[in-house]
Structure 1
Amino acid sequence: MRLLFFFLLGLLFLSSCKSLQYRLPDEAIYSAFAKADIPTSISYVEIDSLDLKVRVQSVTQGIEDYNLVFLHGSPSSLTAWQAYLKDSTLRHTVKLHAIDRPGYGYSNFGKQMISIDTQTKVISEVINQLNLKNVIAIGTSYGGPVAARLPIENDHIKAVVMVSPAIDPDNEKRVWQSDFTQWWLTRWLVPTGYRVAGDEKTVHAQELAAIEKDWSQVNVPVMHIHGDRDELVPFINVAYSQSVFSNVEVVPISGLGHEIAWARPELVIPYLLEMIKKIKQTQ
């Protein structure tokens, strides 16, 4: 009976493997944006020291000299931000860039990078190589603390917006499903994107604890948007942000959970426009 269970489980994962990777090839992205009549470009930034290529999708119609850089959670990819890159107000106002974090999408897919500090350095190098100035870093879930750490690494970061960020090491919620990505007997059954997510999740609390002493160095405006019914990343993460960032605005979203960034872009976009306006007024 146990063998039958694992056989059926294997068939389930193998049959759904492609649909659970949360990534689209370049051709599919170009096709979707062409149908929407939105010019877009995809580039691969090489990080030679890590033998890594990072995929970036950009929409650069905006008339203002500001760049929004979007960092997804896990498992996910830059496709989580398609609604933002297609939004008429955003794309006509500023330049937009969505990034496949290392290990996801088409950025060395399957090769996990569990260090938040290293991921931040990679994203900072991408920003430098693309010569982006006046950057607002937007990150959701795991991407939240990566976005928040960017101002420490890169002087071009002018503000941070975190949506449902997993940033509090003492309230990092254990996800039992991650155990399947760590057990040798079941790891091979799990789709690649989920294995990378499991590897990140398993050490996420330790990684957050290792960098929490540095949050006092973040000297740009920070906005923390969070649903008060988030069961994956508890709402108490808001209190942590209030305690560690000197210039933070908290935006509680009543009645919603962890899905805000990708499922409710219409709620987030006005706050991004608000942050752009705020930064313009201070320069």
Structure 2
Amino acid sequence: MATIKTSDGTEIFYKDWGPKTAQPIVFHHGWPLTADDWDTQMMFFLANGFRVIAHDRRGHGRSTQTDTGNEMDTYAADVAALTDHLDLKGAVHIGHSTGGGEVARYVARAKPGRVAKAVLVAAVPPIMVKTASNPGGLPMEVFDGIRTQVATNRAQFFLDLPTGPFYGFNRDGAKVLPGVIQNWWRQGMMGGAKAHYDCVAAFAQTDFTEDLKQIKVPTLVMHGDDDQIVPYQDAGVLSAKLVKGAELKIYKGYPHGMLTTHADVLNPDLLAFIRA
């Protein structure tokens, strides 16, 4: 197991596959998952000649189950520590859901030369919670409910979410994939309850507006219009307007977990953007 130790002693687990001379792609996972959620993409891009890297966010998976630092500034600092350790140059950073927020904050602050392109997939920016300045957001009660479930009934909640809205398996005619549901549960239960609880505020209440405005590299925003977790109109559509020159791709009928359910479509689209 490859790990790095951050300045506060947290161990961050990561995978690093492929030739070190190839262009690196760094994958940032969603809540409450792990680097394993990117296995399909990592195998695809490895086969296409890239170096592929994914880490378990602090408090998640095989990284330290921290009770502190479970917020976006520290998440981005952990990514910076990893990219410095690996001395990555000209990397493409791809983030899904919460990982999209992590990408936005990291890329906005990255050292010159570290980042070549960015991709936000079904990502939480600009901000998820409903506020006076974000009337299209979700009510705070939604996130309070998630916190209650994590604190009191996490194992069942981590079955209910992938069984239902995460992958759109609750839609009429959906092909339910039990292995995908079980793998989601496995990844979630590897992490720490305290870190998962704290991360709800990180993905729901962090305002990424200024981060998005600071991104200067070519950026692709991808979102499904049947995303029941992060509604696309208040997320992907707004993010693409805030990142100068961003490309927006909306996928009709695709769910939040579309990287898993529709990898056959999204992986080639990602490859085309990276190679362009």
TM-score of the aligned structures, taking structure 2 as reference length: 0.75
Identity level (%): 22
Q: Name 2:146's counterpart in structure 1.
A: 177
Q: Distance in 1 between matches of 2:52 and 2:199?
A: 26
SS of 2:2's partner is: strand
Count of equivalent residues: 229
- Deviation, 1:265, is 2.1
Q: Name 2:168's counterpart in structure 1.
A: none
TM-score of the aligned structures, taking structure 1 as reference length: 0.73
Matches within 5 A, 1:147-158: 147-154=103-110, 155=112, 156-158=114-116
Kindly indicate whether residue 75 of structure 2 is the aligned counterpart of residue 77 of structure 1: no
Greater shift in the superposed pair: 172-181 or 233-242:
172-181
SS of 1:136's partner is: strand
The partner residue of 2:62 within 83, 106, 109 is 106
SS of 2:70's partner is: coil
Q: Distance in 2 between matches of 1:144 and 1:117?
A: 14
SS of 1:93's partner is: coil
Kindly indicate whether residue 274 of structure 2 is the aligned counterpart of residue 264 of structure 1: no
SS of 1:80's partner is: helix
- Deviation, 1:239, is 2.1
Q: Distance in 2 between matches of 1:119 and 1:203?
A: 10
Give the number of the structure whose residues are more often helix, by fraction: 1
SS of 1:51's partner is: coil
CA contact 2:18–2:46 (8 Å) conserved in 1? no
Q: Name 1:50's counterpart in structure 2.
A: 8
SS of 1:50's partner is: coil
Change over 3 Å in CA distance of 1:204–1:80 after alignment to 2: closer
Q: Name 1:204's counterpart in structure 2.
A: 203
CA contact 1:61–1:92 (8 Å) conserved in 2? no
Q: Distance in 1 between matches of 2:155 and 2:29?
A: 24
Q: Which runs of 5 or more structure 1 residues have no equivalent in the other structure?
A: 1-41, 279-283
Which residue type is aligned with residue 104 of structure 2? Answer: A
Q: Name 1:251's counterpart in structure 2.
A: 249
CA contact 1:46–1:52 (8 Å) conserved in 2? yes
Q: Which runs of 5 or more structure 2 residues have no equivalent in the other structure?
A: 128-133, 157-188
- Deviation, 1:194, is 5.4
